[in-house]
Amino acid sequence: DAGVTQSPTHLIKTRGQQVTLRCSPKSGHDTVSWYQQALGQGPQFIFQYYEEEERQRGNFPDRFSGHQFPNYSSELNVNALLLGDSALYLCASSLGPGENIQYFGAGTRLSVL
């Protein structure tokens, strides 16, 4: 039973570029949440996808967008990258948007130079 998988594991971009991160949820899970974790801080909620729609959004600018596919996998897109976007991006999946228990992937470490 595969857990949450994310790709790529590491990524280096330059300011102004765009990036797409990918997440496959745990088998049987239909809800995906994305988090940004800066060094020394806790994960910050970006948004959640369920039934291919964004259901909840944290305090992130419109440069951060996402998508969920019919197979429940999800993408996080970040446009016009800033140095401050350097962080670990975590994907978490759960059985429904109200489910308390969520499982995290190993994350994508993004460095913006």
For 85, the 3-state DSSP assignment is helix
Identify the residue among 19, 24, 33, 93 touching another protein (CB under 8 A).
33
Selected range binding another protein among 15-23, 37-45, 60-68, 76-84, rule: CB under 8 A? 37-45
- List all residues 6 or more positions away from 112 whose beta carbon is below 8 Å from its beta carbon: 12, 13, 14, 15, 17, 81, 82, 83, 84, 85, 86
How far apart CA 13 and CA 38 sit, in angstroms, is: 16
10: enclosing H helix or E strand: strand 10-13
Q: Indicate whether 50 belongs to the interface with another protein (CB under 8 A).
A: yes
Instruction: Supply the minimum distance, in Å, between the C-beta of residue 26 and another protein.
Output: 12
The site for another protein, by CB under 8 A, has a size of 24
Among residue numbers 51 through 90, which ones bind another protein (CB under 8 A)? 55-56, 58, 90
State yes or no: residue 107 binds another protein (CB under 8 A).
yes
Any contact of residue 97 with another protein (CB under 8 A)? yes
Q: Which residues bind another protein (CB under 8 A)?
A: 31, 33, 35, 40-45, 48, 50, 55-56, 58, 90, 97-98, 100-102, 104-107
